Structure 1
């Protein structure tokens, strides 16, 4: 099995079992040891490769232990500290890693709850572990750009010099990506003010702030949708249709319109689900004919932007997500989704809906 396939298999296991794992010990057995063995390639039962409960007395701290130490050529290379899978990782959890980092030869340390893996090194000061990770791997949302870097940590491909040399860029690029994602989800005052100042020449009053808080959020969501649409069209070899006799008007912000627009919150999951339905439907009609409308109760995917031609409905507002499919009499059947990929299981019903209207 290829490295990426092994990573995907473990990610699927974590997704299915994470909520059932309640203790640190269970997390180690279910997620951490499989990661060390199947992903990194070290024998967890060979003390010459993996030392559990690794002890190295530090100053007045005697008998403290790090959960695992990975050894290569007789030297400790990676220290691993574990927490329960249901808990959020915090830098306070890494106290042993900080102390052990300075008294061992290890240049790498990992803090994990089995779901998220935070990897640290000593970029800021030699032999002193950084307070921020240079690489964060979330098994529930794997960033594929990080896979080659994770592979450098494996037994067969371990390359400490390459890892350290790439760590500086990884650290800041990863942090920037996470901050950008955070701003897209919940724009901060600084983000709102920055963009407002680029398009609005008046004073940045509280009223203007309130108006543009909604507008920046709306523009962000539309930008993401259009970017994904453009990539989908490019992948399908489709060019955008020209706008014949189309005009674009600009009007002042009207409070009533603003209130109406901001009552509906379009989520990234809804947009991702829409793109999956659209990709399926494009097997029957041109991509530009597949449109979407968000409503309070569901997110609709339509043919020709016509409410009388519903292809599917995404009910993503609750804890349980559903894909709604309608028969010729417009009777809706909801199908529970454990993941967005399960939409593909209903591909034929989606295509049939498109054929029915087209």
Structure 2
């Protein structure tokens, strides 16, 4: 993967079009992930998602395993900064396909989508974003031909969703400790009755300690390598 990263950095400088991005950056990655990009039974370009319908919706790339489409890939130029406006086509492709993974990429950044909110309707937010230049690329093994497993990916998505929700709740408690949280901590350190004045006092003290803990966590994070998202066991 490190060799691929170095090659991508060098190649990216000379790429100006979507087609060159696809040939020079995107297809080589899928080859690295174990797919035979020259075999139409594994990688199909301009794949028609709604066979049998007059107006066919064609996605840039379809990644197949044993004849089943596993990923739909919408490609943009390496010069393009990805945003939500690029989702329209991928949303349409996804809605007429049985595929569970949609990928939006400019060859450098890969955004992975699924239908965790409404079955059959692609989420508007990616469950994973991988920057080939800056991120740890181990997570991409989850989408390799050898290790691709729909159930494992679904479990991974669920775990990320719950971790995000938990993080938001924890950050909310750190910023504004709720009465329930204050009462829980107060009872652990003082078994006497929690009066209104005592609750106010504990809320102030807990807020201070949470700020101190968060400050230490930020310092530790900066001193260490950034944590990476690991593949599920």
Is the pair's TM-score, using the shorter chain for normalization, greater than 0.5?
Answer: yes
Is 1:65 matched up with 2:58? yes
Secondary structure (helix, strand or coil) at the match of 2:70 reads strand
Q: What does residue range 131-170 of structure 1 map to in structure 2 within 5 Å?
A: 131-143=124-136, 147=138, 149-170=139-160
Q: How many residues align?
A: 192
Show the counterpart of 2:48. Answer: 55
Structure 2 regions of 5+ residues with no counterpart?
Answer: 178-203, 227-233
> Which residue number corresponds to residue 15 of structure 2?
21
C-alpha separation in 2, matches of 1:227 and 1:122: 32
Q: Which range is displaced more, 122-131 or 9-18?
A: 9-18
CA distance in 2, matches of 1:48, 1:60: 22
Structure 1 unaligned segments of length 5 or more: list them: 1-6, 180-189, 200-215, 233-267, 269-358
**Which of these two proteins has the greater Rg computed from alpha carbons?**
1
1:30 aligns with 2:24: yes
- Higher relative CO (Cα under 8 Å, sequence separation at least 6) belongs to 2
CA contact (8 A) 1:19 1:86 kept: no
Distance change in 2, residues 1:171/1:59 (3 Å): farther
The aligned counterpart of 1:334 is none
What is the CA distance between 1:173 and its match in structure 2?
4.5
In structure 2, what is the Cα distance between the partners aligned to 1:135 and 1:223? 24
TM-score w.r.t. structure 2 length? 0.69
| Structure 1 consecutive aligned stretches of length 4 or more whose deviation exceeds 4 Å | 58-61, 171-177, 222-229
Q: Give distance in 2, aligned partners of 1:227 and 1:102.
A: 40
- Find the counterpart in structure 2 of residue 120 from structure 1: 113
Counterpart in the other structure of 1:212: none
Contact kept? 1:27, 1:114, Cα under 8 Å: yes
Q: Secondary structure at the match of 2:60?
A: strand
After superposition, where does 1:304-343 map in structure 2 within 5 Å? Answer: none
- Aligned partners of 2:109 and 2:130 also within 8 Å: yes
Give CA deviations for 1:235-276 in whole Å, capped at 9, x if unaligned. xxxxxxxxxxxxxxxxxxxxxxxxxxxxxxxxx9xxxxxxxx
Instruction: Give the counterpart of 2:75 among 64, 74, 82.
Output: 82
Q: How far apart in 1 are the matches of 2:126 and 2:160?
A: 9
**Once the 2 structures are TM-superposed, how far is the Cα of residue 225 of structure 1 from its aligned partner?**
4.8
TM-score where L is the length of structure 1: 0.46
